[in-house]
Structure 1
Amino acid sequence: MNILISSTSGEPIYAQIAGQVRQLILQGELVSGTPLPSIRQLAKELQISVITTKRAYEELEREGLINSIVGKGSFVSGADQEFIREQRLRIMEGKLKEIIDESRLLGMEYTELTEMLKLLYEEEKE
């Protein structure tokens, strides 16, 4: 698992870790049952505090994406595909909201925005 930490990002380190692991799970790169590095091991690899990695794992566990078993470690949860689909849709909705906000700042009309989306969508299919 390759996690990159940016010291110049305004985002807290635990959130960077949780976000990257979340993406790997939602994209299917980490599948159900996959063991994650131990909290101590990840902290050592990233040269950060154990408390920071613990906080990232706790956040992922609250979201239902990982399970932690005392004495055994943390694993990608067996969340069903519908749950993962819902999580990915939620992320996509957030990105679309950002795009809508940006288009409004630019003074774009709805039809102009949908035409741009349609063109990009069709272009990617080719």
Structure 2
Amino acid sequence: MNILISNNSKEPLFQQIKEQIKQHIYSGELVAGDALPSMRLLAKELKVSVITTKRAYEDLESEGYLISVVGKGTFVAGQEPHVLKEWQLRELENEIEKIVQEAKRLELSKNDIKELIDIYFEGDV
């Protein structure tokens, strides 16, 4: 599992870790039952605090992505394809909400946003 974090990002480190683990699950790189590195090992590899990795793992566990087994480790939870798709849709909706809020802040119209979506949807992005 490859995780890259940026100290220059506005996004907190635990959030960067959390989102990248989700992406590994969405892409199928991590599947149900796969073991994740221990919190300590991941913290050491990423050169961050164990508290940071603990927060990412705990959030992912509370959201149903991971399962922790005392004395055994942390594993990817089993997801049915339709549940995984629902999670991805929820993530997309959250991103759309952020985009709409930013568009309103910039005083863009709904048609402006639709035009941008059309450009990106049809482009090679």
- Corresponding residue SS for 2:35: coil
Runs (5+) with no aligned partner, structure 2: none
Which one-letter code corresponds to 1:40 in the other structure? R
Report the counterpart of residue 22 of structure 1 in structure 2: 22
- C-alpha distance in 1 between matches for 2:51 and 2:103: 40
| Structure 1 outlier segments of 4+, above 6 Å | none
TM-score by length of 2: 0.82
* Percent identical residues: 48
Runs (5+) with no aligned partner, structure 1: none
1:76-124 deviation digits (Å, cap 9, x = unpaired): 1102122211111111112222332343344443334334423432445
Is the 1:68–1:74 Cα contact (8 Å) retained in structure 2? yes
Which one-letter code corresponds to 2:34 in the other structure? T
TM-score by length of 1: 0.81
- Corresponding residue SS for 1:68: strand
* Larger CA deviation: 104-113 vs 69-78: 104-113
- Corresponding residue SS for 1:48: coil
C-alpha root-mean-square deviation of aligned residues, in Å? 2.2
